Structure 1
C-alpha cells in the first residue's frame, strides 16, 4: 500500500504501538490476536500506511476496544495524568476537527466529542456502495447507538439486517459481527454514540 497523507496517521501509529506495548505484546502476538499481518502492523506503527476501516476493526477487537475508542484515543494523543483527568469544556470548531478517511472505501469519520467527555460521539460519512465489516470483539465493553442523519444505511447486526433511513436509530446489544453498508447511489451520513462499560 502506498503512503497515505492523513493528519491522523501518526496519531493512530502512536496509539496502536502504545496499546500493543501496554499489553507487552510482540508484533507477532498482535498479529495472531488480530489476524493482521506483522508486516502491516509494522507499517502502521511506523506511520507508513493508513490502516483501512477493516484493519482498524481487527486491531481494535484484539485490544478489546471499539474502533471509535481507538480513534478517539489516537486523537487525544497525550497520556492521562493526575492533573488531566477532567473534561475541558469549550467550543470545537468544524475546521479544527481531525477527520479520518478509510483509504479503501472513502469512509470518513469525524470525532465530535473530546477524549475526556464521558460519551464518544462520531459523525460518519459512508460513500455510495461502501461496505465496512467489523468483528464482534470490536463491540465488546461498550454500549452503542447508531443514528442515521442522511440517506439510508443497511445495517447487518449478526444475522439480522436492518434498513435504516434518516432519523432512524438502533441501539446495539451484545457484541456480534456487524457490517455497515450503503447500498444506494447517494452518500449516507450517521452518528455513532458510544459509552464504555467494563475496562479491559
Structure 2
C-alpha cells in the first residue's frame, strides 16, 4: 500500500470548497462550526497543506457527513467498478496512517469499504460527533494488533478479530505493536446520509 499513496491535497481542497459552497457556508461560518481556523481551511482549499485525520473529522462533522462520505465525494465518477490503482489513497500527515478508499463512488450504496495501514506506536482519537449519529462501522483486523477505546470500553484486537461500533462514540485507535497493523473498515450510513 505504501507505494500506492497518491497526493490528494488538491482534490481534498477542491472537495472541501465545493461542499462548503454547496451548503452556502463562508470560510468564517465553517470555521465557527468546525473549530478549525479560517486560515487553515483556506490553506486546505488551495491545496497548500494536507489536513490531519482529526481536522478532517471536525470539518466533516460541521458538514454533517462522515470521513468516508467526504472522500467518496472526491473520488472518480460513478461506476460499479473501481480498480485498485484508481482507488484514492491518503496519508494522515500527523500519524502516518494510510487510508485507501476501496468502494466505488456514486453507486448509491450506504456501505463504504476502507483499507487502513496503521503505523506501529501510532494513536489517533476522534471526539464524539453528533453529526455521525446513525453511522456504524465494523473494524476487521488482518495483521498486527490494535487497541481501541469506544466511549469508555476498551478492546484489544488480534488478526481475524472484528469490532462493531457506532461512529458517534468517541473512538481512540492505537497500535501498541512494533509492526504496522492492517485492517478494513466497513462503514454503513443510514439512508439519507
SS in 1 for 2:185: strand
Gaps of 5+ in 1: 79-86
SS in 2 for 1:100: strand
Match of 1:23?
23
Mapped partners of 1:28, 1:12: distance in 2: 19
Match of 1:114?
104
Output one character per residue of 1:157-183: Cα deviation in whole Å (capped at 9) or x when no partner: 011111111111111137211111112
Pair 1:105 & 2:95 matched: yes
Q: Does the CA-based 8 Å contact 1:64-1:141 persist in structure 2?
A: no
Moved more, 121-130 or 13-22: 13-22
Pair 1:57 & 2:57 matched: yes
Gaps of 5+ in 2: none
Q: Does the CA-based 8 Å contact 1:141-1:199 persist in structure 2?
A: no
SS in 2 for 1:75: coil
User: What root-mean-square deviation, in Å, do the aligned CA atoms of Structure 1 and Structure 2 show?
Assistant: 1.9
The alpha carbon displacement at 1:23 in A equals 1.4
Mapped partners of 1:198, 1:29: distance in 2: 27
Mapped partners of 2:28, 2:99: distance in 1: 29
The alpha carbon displacement at 1:198 in A equals 4.5
Runs of 4+ in 1 over 6 A off after TM superposition: none
The alpha carbon displacement at 1:67 in A equals 1.1
- What TM-score, normalized to structure 1? 0.85
